[in-house]
Structure 1
């Protein structure tokens, strides 16, 4: 490569870097202008739904953020009572003073095969959830897999939405996870994320594994 070509390439690189810096500077100004308008704070109603993996995982991620910041929080598991999960083991063993953990489900509905029992357990879990949400010491309450209980009408979605709108303390965050979130809940929520399924190892004959699914 000749000296002229080297100088040309260096000049082009310098021009690209300058153009990139100007572009990012404009983005920064625009972003700061937008952020300056975001001044409100409130407790959010957060829904994680969809067929993809990661709904409960995302919810627990926020719970662990609260724990890391020393903020009291709570978890109510509506379905996975039969599973020994890593999240439950970790929280109960090390962070019980910051995070209350209540496992009130007895397994997936096809495992119990007893609707009246499922309804009773779901109602019991909902009563505990309301108690924890009303307690303003809890900054966040995770209602894990409540959407499944709502899908099968074990709990009245209208009652859940009414409670969240009328009785949830203003600064308390409530996270609701599970597939097939009902439209009424989605409409009431502040933040809704739908996990999209692209590929899943279960379809290739791979079972749920420790450290990945639970």
Structure 2
């Protein structure tokens, strides 16, 4: 490995910092963002919960609505409800994945109830961030109308409220209107090698 001359390296970094500072000086706006985490890779909900925990750390009121995940306990839910319920409302309103419930009518009813709760939480300007966990799955299966969701976000979301939407196969309409979109790419997954979901990694 070639080691760069320290003086040359320092000069290069000083130039880079000056360019970066110039760019950052132009970034002065603040707004509530629409954030989409999608893709086949792991980490969509985990990343979203990372932002929820940041809000909690800054003592910013926030909320979570889980659209698909059912009654199985998760580390995020246990930690939030057990220690930070005063700052973060947590609503698990699904009953499990569609191949587990095998009841489209019931799934639709639950997703509609979750969307009603989500709208209530988003409308409250006191909430700095609202996470709609796995809503993309509910949208993909038609349990909730994507046109209704995008119209609501465009017309009724308070200006400074962040809304995070997670799940595979995000609708193009959501991607188009979002301020920030991240697609998690699957490279390797232990499930393919026979390793089951584990506490601390998946839940």
Q: TM-score, normalised by structure 2?
A: 0.98
Q: Which residue of 1 aligns with 2:88?
A: 99
Listed as ranges, the gaps of 5+ residues in structure 1 are 1-12
1-side partners of 2:94 and 2:3: how far apart?
62
* Count of aligned positions: 202
Q: Which residue of 2 aligns with 1:154?
A: 143
In structure 2, the CA distance between the partners of 1:14 and 1:182, relative to structure 1 (3 Å rule), is: closer
2-side partners of 1:115 and 1:80: how far apart?
15
**Corresponding residue SS for 2:64:** strand
Q: Which residue of 2 aligns with 1:68?
A: 57
**Corresponding residue SS for 1:101:** strand
Listed as ranges, the gaps of 5+ residues in structure 2 are none
Tell whether 2:20 aligns with 1:31. Answer: yes
Q: Which residue of 2 aligns with 1:108?
A: 97
2-side partners of 1:154 and 1:188: how far apart?
20
1-side partners of 2:139 and 2:90: how far apart?
21
Q: How do residues 136-175 of structure 1 correspond to structure 2 at under 5 angstroms?
A: 136-175=125-164
RMSD: 1.2
2-side partners of 1:107 and 1:75: how far apart?
16
Q: Which residue of 2 aligns with 1:49?
A: 38
In structure 2, the CA distance between the partners of 1:15 and 1:61, relative to structure 1 (3 Å rule), is: closer
In structure 2, the CA distance between the partners of 1:15 and 1:140, relative to structure 1 (3 Å rule), is: closer
In structure 2, the CA distance between the partners of 1:14 and 1:168, relative to structure 1 (3 Å rule), is: closer
Runs of 4+ with deviation above 6 angstroms = none
Q: TM-score, normalised by structure 1?
A: 0.93
